Structure 1
């Protein structure tokens, strides 16, 4: 049987995840291999990992410590890094409370963004009617 090249194996792994990811939006700080705080915005989460946007380059293979507002710190290994985005696998798992908090932040961001666009549209329409 033929084997896939390593770059395709990584792509297939990303497609066939064991756990589904949920949107999240939380900005926090991480410590990387003893390097002081790097800004990180979590974009999606699963019970065992996350994807985020880092303010500084974090190379694949690094071990980071993620600070959350409650439930303490979570350690993770950076599996991939590309253009400021990183994919991490947790050394453990998010607790139910941590996961619910992060998913709630993502859901609220989606609602608020859509509502803000609707309000801006309505205000624009009203200003056109008033000025006409």
Structure 2
């Protein structure tokens, strides 16, 4: 999928699909301070969230999810209050589907 921003274009090369979740997670930035963090979509390998906090590529965050606990995620991109992160360790599929069911039920 290609996305255009003015004269810039980005190509989405992710292999995995993302599941829409809209989950307000507890998250902690590189300085260990708690962040406002709304997870918009999720996959076993990463997430996209909305947050007012400024992030740099390579920042490491901790995001807390029910059942899986605290996951470390590395910022891959940040743009206009949105941030894309890749988990340090992917969530195994059985745990992922349990987490997804819990998050969708919480809506």
The TM-score with structure 2 as length reference comes to: 0.77
Q: Tell me, which stretches of 5 or more residues in structure 2 are unaligned?
A: 1-7
Counterpart of 2:21 in structure 1 is: 24
Counterpart of 2:75 in structure 1 is: 78
> Does structure 1 residue 91 correspond to structure 2 residue 102?
no
Q: 1:68 aligns with which of 65, 71, 74?
A: 65
Counterpart of 1:122 in structure 2 is: none
Which structure has the bigger radius of gyration?
1
RMSD, matched Cα: 2.2
The TM-score with structure 1 as length reference comes to: 0.64
Q: Take 1:65 and 1:108, find their aligned partners in 2: how far apart are those partners? A: 21
Q: Report the structure, 1 or 2, having the larger strand content.
A: 2
**Residue pair 1:60, 1:79 contacting (<8 A) in 2 also:** yes
Quote the offset at 1:102 in angstroms: 4.7
Question: Aligned with 2:37: secondary structure?
Answer: strand
Q: Deviations over 1:3-52 (max 9, x none)?
A: xxxx76xx22x2x3111111112111211112410111111111101100
Number of residue equivalences? 99
**Residue pair 2:76, 2:86 contacting (<8 A) in 1 also:** yes
Question: Aligned with 1:103: secondary structure?
Answer: helix
- Aligned pair in 2 of structure 1 residues 97, 41: CA closer, same or farther (>3 Å)? farther
**Residue pair 2:67, 2:99 contacting (<8 A) in 1 also:** no
